Structure 1
């Protein structure tokens, strides 16, 4: 008589291998191939009833699903490609029982980004692996597009392989690994993104169950990594676009030294700066911000900056006229958009700046004996009123003093109210070390790192940051 079949359970894939701990135990001293003698229920070696076997399998499946759920939950909380790759390495190592590994990201479309991330491997270790001929590495064959089975590529004992490449044997001995297991980073709809490989210190090979779980996890992880890759590409494209629309280099003008910093948001923002030589040994200085974010804001910023340069060349001695023309252009061509701007006409020989501002924060004057905000007239941003006009102000700097222009994003990134943000900026400028005050580049770097400490200047934010420093000799 045939044994009864376990009932089908909804949601359980019958092709999933049974959990390892459900395999029937063999009585001590008995041959695995020999039939077991009947034993009383509950005694060692007693055959499991069909219901008990089904419960055991269900418990194993639930345990596996719980593990996959926890690992994928951790993965989806990553919001950068580097963090996602590191999480895939750690999760895969836990599933296949390895201690070290690496992920090589090399999208098949050739558009990048290309990178290698290691787990338990230093940069020097990764460099040693790069000296091995690619075709002799399991993950190298995956990256070259060679066919790979559903269970990945296992190399259970590298040193027992007589056909192992000599360089691979040397590197494996130096790094201390004796086996590897590799899986392609690919899934339906994403193409091949790269490959992951985990390294064992001793000859070893993951069993059927770990391979199956690792394959399920990697297929899911590949889709998440593909999303992070697109985000990374978009960020890089927006940053490149914004940088290309800003000055490629600052001009060299006798009597002054210039330095600038620009941090753009991942979506691309509209903050900008400019410094351009003008007739009669003058220098035009400008910072500004266009409302909105994304490609449209970046494009609007480029148009506005190009227009301001033209107006500055024609009538830069009168900053009010420059901003009036810019406001008229903005109101006629982009009525739904507004912008803040600050334009100054600098006379380096006289250490004098005449400036006008439209809804922009005042410059900061940094010197040995004073650190103070320059008083400017209060006015609305460009595009907010039917006709913009505000009086200009003029101030004199001393030799060795630095004028710092900046956008509001520097203040907004602090997360403080406006008064506290201004106080933090003032304190950061006042405590610039004396040795750094001779170099405007050192001044802007110190102010940026002090106002936005602990890497806040580099982290993702919706706010752009612009600083432009002008030091008078």
Structure 2
């Protein structure tokens, strides 16, 4: 039986290899007092060990802070802050390779404004550089070499481009230290071979006076940037996937709102970071009628997006065939949902509008009641309480008829609008009612202005808040 090997701690191999077989334990010799030259009594050894422990503790704390960053922008700013503390610099910037950011370079500064970064961009560009980074990072070593580049005394370096020294003097820095954001070589691969992440960008830190980081500082910064590269690569993939899903969902929703005499429309839609299942629709129907729909389906991600597309396409067909009866439209939709999406439930609200006759017939299935507002009233439409589609063996609920007066506006909204308000549901309803009632008189006849005002009042921090829910607000103003 083999003796278990000693565990590895913080990336350090065990100092003594494990024996190949079990042998009788040897009797240890009696301890002898350490002599003057014994390593155990050398204070330099203790100082070195204490320094290693301090470095490992610092790296652990910094990498944990980086791992807790919620998004790409926060991760880049944490990378700059941590790197500046490791190398003893005051300012810096980081840029990501355009090939890894959908063709758009992403640059973030620490202690540098947009104008400062613009000045740096005017440094002459080396077209033969191994990547289209910020001009200050053109002279990085080729890919596979993660040693970085030091300019310890920019005003005194004769071989630098004069424009580089001019920009440094304008921005007040006299030295720089740049590191590539590149993953470590793959184990067992060829020299210089990189993992899948490869080189995704670079970071540079700036010193106010001529200086350069020590060997220990460069070593720690290199270890930290190696970890940061892997973390940023994962965030880039996640950001790209979310952007793709969000774009797909936007393509599945109406590209433009229909124009029907007597009514004007506006919509505001924000997708949550995980791609929720909220949707809306507006379609022109025969004889000058208009169909308005809003709803949500359980789940998130590509599956929910695909189910939403199928649900919306089916509702359009049912609205064309029997749109005058919103209850029949939702009944057909419920049957389809149970047959094609048995594991999902959905909320929906469909309104059949006849602008010329001032008549709107609404039926809802587990969805929030619409809100009507105008000069003389602001109130919720009393729709009957009903279950979501797919929850009961057979869905049925009566419709309700509304008669909007000239100049009044109907608001259809998703529950994500209420959830992102951050209050309990009853207080969120009250906030939405107050927001609609407080629309300035001069803006009441503009559905776009009404939508913007309501969102500002209900979501003071903006629609892109911390919640994951989608936000949909569909506004119909009757002339």
2:438 maps to which of 431, 444, 459? 431
- Once the two structures are TM-superposed, the CA of residue 443 in structure 1 deviates from its matched residue by 1.4
Q: Which residue of 2 aligns with 1:379?
A: 386
1:323/1:147 CA distance change after superposition, 3 Å: closer
CA distance in 1, matches of 2:101, 2:440: 47
Q: Which residue of 1 aligns with 2:138?
A: 140
Classify the secondary structure of the residue corresponding to 1:134. coil
- Once the two structures are TM-superposed, the CA of residue 149 in structure 1 deviates from its matched residue by 4.4
- Once the two structures are TM-superposed, the CA of residue 111 in structure 1 deviates from its matched residue by 4.0
Task: Provide TM-score, normalisation by structure 2.
Answer: 0.85
| Preserved contact between residue 108 and residue 191 of structure 1 (Cα < 8 Å) | no
| Preserved contact between residue 151 and residue 212 of structure 1 (Cα < 8 Å) | no
The C-alpha deviation readout for 1:360-405, integer Å capped at 9, x for no partner, is 1110001111100011122221112222222221111111111000
Q: Which residue of 2 aligns with 1:131?
A: 122
The C-alpha deviation readout for 1:80-135, integer Å capped at 9, x for no partner, is 10000001001111111111110001165564663000111111111122222332
CA distance in 2, matches of 1:362, 1:110: 41
Q: Which residue of 2 aligns with 1:226?
A: 233
Classify the secondary structure of the residue corresponding to 1:284. strand
CA distance in 2, matches of 1:330, 1:10: 55
CA distance in 2, matches of 1:14, 1:53: 20
Classify the secondary structure of the residue corresponding to 1:269. coil
Classify the secondary structure of the residue corresponding to 2:434. helix
Q: Which residue of 2 aligns with 1:118?
A: 109
| Preserved contact between residue 409 and residue 475 of structure 2 (Cα < 8 Å) | yes
1:409 maps to which of 395, 404, 416? 416
Larger deviation, residues 459-468 vs 117-126: 459-468
CA distance in 1, matches of 2:404, 2:10: 77
| Preserved contact between residue 263 and residue 465 of structure 1 (Cα < 8 Å) | yes
1:110/1:117 CA distance change after superposition, 3 Å: closer
| Preserved contact between residue 266 and residue 460 of structure 1 (Cα < 8 Å) | no
CA distance in 2, matches of 1:233, 1:362: 36
Alignment of 1:327-366 (within 5 A): 327-366=334-373
1:294/1:13 CA distance change after superposition, 3 Å: closer
1:388/1:99 CA distance change after superposition, 3 Å: same
Larger deviation, residues 382-391 vs 81-90: 382-391
1:364/1:67 CA distance change after superposition, 3 Å: same
Alignment of 1:450-465 (within 5 A): 450-455=457-462, 457-465=463-471
CA distance in 1, matches of 2:101, 2:452: 36
CA distance in 2, matches of 1:101, 1:417: 43
| Preserved contact between residue 120 and residue 136 of structure 2 (Cα < 8 Å) | no
- Once the two structures are TM-superposed, the CA of residue 294 in structure 1 deviates from its matched residue by 1.2
Classify the secondary structure of the residue corresponding to 1:355. strand
Q: Which residue of 1 aligns with 2:191?
A: none
2:166 maps to which of 167, 170, 186? 170
Task: Provide TM-score, normalisation by structure 1.
Answer: 0.86
1:13/1:371 CA distance change after superposition, 3 Å: closer
| Preserved contact between residue 352 and residue 362 of structure 2 (Cα < 8 Å) | yes
- Once the two structures are TM-superposed, the CA of residue 150 in structure 1 deviates from its matched residue by 4.1
The answer as to 2:263 corresponding to 1:256 is: yes
- Once the two structures are TM-superposed, the CA of residue 441 in structure 1 deviates from its matched residue by 1.5
2:87 maps to which of 86, 90, 96? 96
Classify the secondary structure of the residue corresponding to 1:67. helix
Alignment of 1:219-298 (within 5 A): 219-298=226-305
Classify the secondary structure of the residue corresponding to 1:280. helix
Return 5+ residue gaps in structure 1 as ranges: 1-8, 16-47
Classify the secondary structure of the residue corresponding to 2:42. helix
The answer as to 2:470 corresponding to 1:472 is: no
1:298/1:49 CA distance change after superposition, 3 Å: closer
CA distance in 1, matches of 2:393, 2:230: 50
Q: Which residue of 1 aligns with 2:148?
A: 152
Classify the secondary structure of the residue corresponding to 1:340. strand
Equivalences, count:
435
Classify the secondary structure of the residue corresponding to 2:277. strand
1:14/1:396 CA distance change after superposition, 3 Å: closer
Q: Which residue of 2 aligns with 1:30?
A: none
Q: Which residue of 2 aligns with 1:161?
A: 157
Larger deviation, residues 81-90 vs 70-79: 70-79
| Preserved contact between residue 186 and residue 193 of structure 1 (Cα < 8 Å) | yes
1:370/1:169 CA distance change after superposition, 3 Å: same
CA distance in 1, matches of 2:145, 2:329: 67
CA distance in 1, matches of 2:460, 2:166: 45
Q: What's the C-alpha RMSD, in Å, of the aligned pairs? A: 2.6
| Preserved contact between residue 97 and residue 106 of structure 2 (Cα < 8 Å) | yes
Classify the secondary structure of the residue corresponding to 2:350. strand
The C-alpha deviation readout for 1:389-430, integer Å capped at 9, x for no partner, is 222211111111110001112222234333222222212212
1:418/1:11 CA distance change after superposition, 3 Å: closer
1:73 maps to which of 64, 74, 82? 64
| Preserved contact between residue 143 and residue 199 of structure 2 (Cα < 8 Å) | no
| Preserved contact between residue 79 and residue 228 of structure 1 (Cα < 8 Å) | no
Alignment of 1:286-325 (within 5 A): 286-325=293-332
1:175/1:349 CA distance change after superposition, 3 Å: same
